[in-house]
Structure 1
Amino acid sequence: MAQKKHWNDLSVVSRWRIAILGITQLAIQFVALRDLAKRPADGVRGSKSAWAAASFINFIGPVAYLVFGRIPNKK
C-alpha cells in the first residue's frame, strides 16, 4: 500500500493547485451563503437551511444553489 504524501512531499506546483482550489471553494461558498442569507425565503427553491447545509459539500453544493436554488428576481 502506498504511503500518503505529506504537504512537504508535494511539488510547489501541486501546493499552488491545492491552495487555489481551496481559495476558490471558499469564495464560491461565501458568495452562496451570503446570497442565501440576504435572499427572502420565497426567492429560494426549497429550504434555506437545506441549501446552507448543502453549501458545505465541496464545489457541488454552492454551485448547485447558485444555479438551481435561486428564483430569479422579477423587475
Structure 2
Amino acid sequence: MRKKWAELSPAARAGIISMAAVDAGLRVWAIRDLRSRDKSQVNGPKLVWTVVLGGVNSAGLLPTVYLLAGRKRTPSESH
C-alpha cells in the first residue's frame, strides 16, 4: 500500500526532495548542454534526447546517461 506524503517520515521526505533536486539539476544541465551542441556532436538524434530528457522521470539516470554517453567528445574535452 502506498503512503501519503503526510505519512512519510521526515527522513523519507528529505530523501525524496533531495533526489528530485538532483534530478532537476542534472536535467537542466543536460538539456542546456544538448541545446548548445550541433547534431554532429551528439550520439543519436537530438530530438529523441530532448523528448526523453524533458519527459521521462528517471531519478537522474537519463541525464547522467546523456552527459556520459550521449555527447561526443571534442578535442578540447579529451584532455
Q: TM-score, normalised by structure 2?
A: 0.84
- Counterpart of 1:63 in 2: which secondary structure? helix
Structure of higher CA gyration radius:
1
C-alpha RMSD of the superposition: 1.2
Structure 1 residue 60 displacement after superposition: 2.4
- Whether 2:37 is the aligned partner of 1:39: answer yes
Cα deviation digits, residues 17-74 of structure 1 (max 9, x gap): 0000000000011100000000111100110011112223412221111111101112
Return 5+ residue gaps in structure 2 as ranges: none
Separation in 2 of the partners of 1:17 and 1:46?
33
Which segment drifts farther, 19-28 or 58-67?
58-67
Return 5+ residue gaps in structure 1 as ranges: none
- Counterpart of 1:4 in 2: which secondary structure? coil
Which of the two has greater helix per residue?
2
Moved over 4 A (4+): none
Q: TM-score, normalised by structure 1?
A: 0.88
Separation in 2 of the partners of 1:18 and 1:50?
27
The residue number in structure 2 matching 1:70 is: 71
